Amino acid sequence: MKIICNGTEKEIRSGITLIDFISEQDLNPDTVVAEYEGKIISRDEYETLMLEENSKLELIRFVGGG
Amino acid sequence: MLQINEKEIPFSEGLTPADFAQTVKPDADLFIVNGYPVSSDTPLRDGDVCCCIKKGEIPSHEEMECLLTARHTPGVHKIAKKSVVGIMGLGGLGSPLAVALTRVGVGKLLLADFDVVEPSNLNRQQYFVDQIGKKKTEALKENLLRMNPYINIETIDKRLTEDNIANIFDNVDVLAECFDDAVMKAAALRAVLTSLPDTYYVGASGMAGYEENNMITTKQLYPKVFIVGDGTSAACPGQGLMAPRVGIAAHHQANQVLRLLIKKDN
């Protein structure tokens, strides 16, 4: 099944959670803001939110330094 | 009407700054009209804002604020003066950002940091050797008021969290995220998108090392959210944080904050 992540179609496995998807993109979930289907997802929902077919996900990634 | 050193003076054809070197500011030898230095015989036009300065002389308090902003684009100081900006983190981004906003005359700054000045900060942050060990909030406030004593500074000497950001900064016009830690950068944006949806936000991500200047950009992520940086240059072993490039990012943030304040007002 597919989702649209940051404007690009991505193949995902059925039942994958948001945190596993983020980790599989080689990102640290703690440094990523996630907007799923137009809603900002709180950090404690990353473990339980399951991505659904044809849904839209925006990941905003931050790197350290300042 | 003309505005000469904060005083309103009726306009009449043929007036030049030299006329005011006699009356408003005896012996003035530097004339700035609408933000730009001109010669003393330049004809003034109705509505001009003119600052007459005597080089080397310490002006009276009332003149000082006008003179400090004499090089501003006309109209900018008036808007800056009534604005409130929050700065989260007073390091390599937050301290030069605060300096720029102080110099432009933002009326009130809310400065938040829990840390003290330490030697490894001094390669990029706006502190001095004799301030090592001082709270960053106190040290920065002290430095900023030496640059422009006519702004109001509130300090918040505590660790910011995703849960307390919305409460602390609920009254600012623009909130700047200047954390070092990527986890806090994400947490702060999440907090603002969730709990302060009407607040303008200027964050930063990716400004370590000495990669090309122009990789650093300001991107609008949401209608009220802007992120500065190259998005990828993380501070990590082998790639340090240094004044030149962190300063580029900080000043992108500063100009974006100013643009938002002016746009919001108009």
Same domain, B117 and B178: yes
pLDDT in tens, B92-138: 999 999 999 999 999 999 999 999 999 999 999 999 999 999 999 99
Chain B contact for A61, CB < 8 A?
yes
Task: Name the residue among B92, B186, B236 with its Cβ closest to that of A66.
Answer: B92
Question: Which of B72, B96, B125 delimits the end of a domain?
Answer: B72
Taking CA atoms, what residue in B is nearest to A59? Answer: B186
Q: Which of B208, B200, B151, B160 is nearest to B184 (CA)?
A: B160
Number of domains within chain B: 2
Distance from CA of B199 to the nearest CA of A (A): 16
CATH code of residue B241: 3.40.50.720
Asked whether residue B177 falls in the same domain as residue B261, the answer is yes
Residue A40 to residue B190, Cβ atoms within 8 A: yes
- Nearest neighbour of B235 by CB, restricted to A30, A33, A65: A65
Of residues B29 and B214, more confidence is placed in: B214
Maximal C-alpha separation, chain B:
66
∠ CA B111-B113-B114, rounded to 5°: 145
**pLDDT, tens digit, 9 for 90 and up, residues B8-52:** 899 999 999 999 888 888 889 899 999 899 999 999 999 998 989
CATH code, A56: 3.10.20.30
Mean pLDDT of chain A: 97
The pLDDT score that the predictor gives to residue B70 is: 85
pLDDT of residue B86: 99
pLDDT for res B266:
67
- ∠ CA B223-B161-A21, nearest 5°, is 65
Q: How many beta-carbon pairs under 8 angstroms link A with B?
A: 73
B186 and B159 within one domain? yes
pLDDT category at B67 given cuts 50, 70, 90 is: confident
Please indicate if any CB of chain A lies within 8 Å of the CB of B103.
Answer: no
Between residues B64 and B250, the one the model is more confident about: B250
- Indicate the residue of A42, A60, A65 with minimum beta-carbon distance to B207: A65
CA B224 to chain centroid: 19
Give the CATH number of the domain where residue B57 resides: 3.10.20.30
Q: Which two tokens stand for residue B24?
A: 């408003």
Domain coverage including residue B152: 77-265
Using pLDDT thresholds of 50, 70 and 90, give the confidence band for residue B74: confident
- How far is B230 from chain A, CA to nearest CA, in Å? 10
Distances (CA, A) of B21 to B5, B182, B187: 11, 54, 55
> At residue B146, does pLDDT exceed 70?
yes
Q: Is B165 an interface residue toward A (CB < 8 Å)?
A: no
What proportion of chain A, given as a percentage, has pLDDT over 70? 100
Q: Is A50 on the interface with B (CB under 8 A)?
A: no
Q: What is the pLDDT of residues A43-66, one digit of tens each?
A: 999 999 999 999 999 999 999 999
Are B60 and B142 in a shared domain? no
Within a domain: residue A9? Answer: yes
Which of A35, A43, A63 is closest, CB to CB, to B206? Answer: A63
Whether residues B183 and A33 touch (CB distance < 8 A) is answered with no
Q: Per the CB < 8 Å rule, is B185 touching A40?
A: no
End residue of a domain, out of B57, B72, B87: B72
B185 interface with A at CB cutoff 8 Å: yes
Q: Is residue A66 part of a domain?
A: no
Looking at the fold, whether B132 and B35 belong to one and the same domain comes out as no
pLDDT of residue A2: 97
Structural domain boundaries, residue A42: 2-61
Contact A31 B186 (CB under 8 A): yes
| B119 and B65 together in one domain | no
Q: Copy the structure tokens of residue A50.
A: 């399951």
Side-chain half-sphere exposure of B189, counting CA atoms within 13 A? 29
Q: Is residue A24 part of a domain?
A: yes
DSSP string, B84-104: EEEEE--STTHHHHHHHHHHH
Residue pLDDT, tens place only, B159-213:
999 999 999 999 999 999 999 999 999 999 999 999 999 999 999 999 999 999 9
Q: Print burial letters for B206-224: b (CB count within 10 Å at least 16), e (below 16).
A: bbbbeeeeeebebeebbeb
Range with lowest mean pLDDT among A31-35, A42-46, B70-74, B174-178? B70-74
Higher pLDDT, B60 or A3: A3
Closest CA to B211 of B240, B183, B250: B240
CA distance B91 to B45: 44
Q: How many helices (H) does chain B have, and how many strands (E)?
A: 8, 12
Quick check: A43 and B190 CB within 8 A? yes
Report CA-CA distances (Å) from B104 to B91, B178, B244: 20, 19, 21
The number of domains in chain A is 1
The values of phi and psi at residue B69, to 5°, are: -110, 15
Is the pLDDT at B59 greater than 80? The verdict is no
The answer to whether residues B202 and B177 touch, using CB atoms and an 8 Å cutoff, is yes
Q: CB of B211 within 8 A of CB of B223?
A: no
pLDDT band per the 50, 70, 90 thresholds, residue A25: very high
